[in-house]
Amino acid sequence: MRLYLVPSPVGNLGDITYRAIEVLRQADVILCEDTRTSGVLLRHYNIQKPLTAYHAHNEHKVLARLVDQLREGKTFALITDAGTPGISDPGFLLVRECLRNDIPVECLPGATAFVPALVQSGLTSNRFVFEGFLPVKKGRQTMLKTLAEEPRTIILYESPHRLVKTLKELAQYMGADRQAAVCRELTKIFEETNKNTLEALAAHYEAHAPKGEIVLVIEGAVPKKGKRRETEDNDEEDDTDDE
C-alpha cells in the first residue's frame, strides 16, 4: 500500500532516473494524465503495466475508488505527461486524500520544467516564486498587479496560444523594459531560451508564433528607493564562517 509520485521527462526521454523506472515496473497500476502520451514513455523502457487515467477532468469522480484500492493494498505510481506530479496538475488532490487515510506517499526526485528554466534564464535564482499558470479570467488582473510588486524572480507556466497576450499584459503592469526569459521546448531538439524585455519578447512572438511547452521567467520588481535588490553575488553578504 503506497502511492509513488514519479517524475517523467519534460521532453527528452533519457531524463528519467533508474529508480523511477524500477518503481514503474513494480507498481500494480500506473496513473497517468494521458494514456497515449505515457504509453510512449513506457514502451520506450519496455514497461508493461495497467494504466488508469487520472487528470483534471476526472479527478473528483475517481478519487474515492483509487483511495479504496490503495487501502486494499495496491501500489500506485502516479506520472504526468511531463515533469513532477503535483506541480500545476491534479496530483495534489490524490496526495492529500492519501495522507488523510494514512496511506504512505513517496515522491521521487527528478525532472521538472521550471528549475532548468530558472537557472538558464540568467535571472537571479537565490530567491524566486513559482506561480504556475495565471488565472485565465477571474482574478487575472489582481494577480498581475500583485506580481508587478513582487521583488523575487517570478516563474510562470504558459501555453503557446496565450503567450503573447500574457507578455503584453505583464509589460503593461510591470513596465515594458522589465527583463524576462521565454524558455520553450526544454530538453527537446528545438529548445530555446529567449531573454529580452517583456515588450521585445511580445513583439518577437507576435511575429513568430510559438509552439510547445513554455516556462516564463521574469525579473523581480526593483525595490523602492533606499533599498537594494538581493543578488546571488552580493559580496557584502557572505554566509561562510571564517575559522
State the CATH number of the domain containing residue 35: 3.40.1010.10
State which of 91, 107, 123 marks the end of a domain: 107
Quick check: is 171 in a domain? yes
Q: What is the pLDDT of residue 95?
A: 95
Quick check: is 234 in a domain? no
**pLDDT range class, residue 124, cuts 50, 70, 90:** very high
Quick check: is 75 in a domain? yes
- Residues 27 and 103 reside in one and the same domain: yes
- Residues 76 and 118 reside in one and the same domain: no
Whether residue 194 has pLDDT greater than 60: yes
- Residues 7 and 46 reside in one and the same domain: yes
CATH of the domain at 153: 3.30.950.10
Lowest mean pLDDT among 45-54, 79-88, 193-202: 79-88
Q: What is the pLDDT of residue 237?
A: 46
Residues 6+ apart with CB under 8 A from 152: 124, 127, 128, 129, 220
Residues 6+ apart with CB under 8 A from 98: 3, 67, 70, 104, 105
Number of folded domains that form the chain? 2
Whether residue 230 has pLDDT greater than 60: no
Structure confidence by residue, pLDDT tens digits, 139-169: 999 999 999 999 999 999 999 999 999 999 9
State which of 92, 107, 122 marks the end of a domain: 107
Quick check: is 242 in a domain? no
Average pLDDT, rounded, for the chain:
91
Structure confidence by residue, pLDDT tens digits, 70-113: 999 999 999 999 999 988 887 899 999 999 999 999 999 999 99
User: Dihedral (C-alpha) 122, 152, 92, 51: value to the nearest 10 degrees?
Assistant: -10
Whether residue 233 has pLDDT greater than 60: no
Structure confidence by residue, pLDDT tens digits, 27-48: 999 999 999 999 999 999 999 9
Q: For residue 90, what are the domain limits? A: 2-107
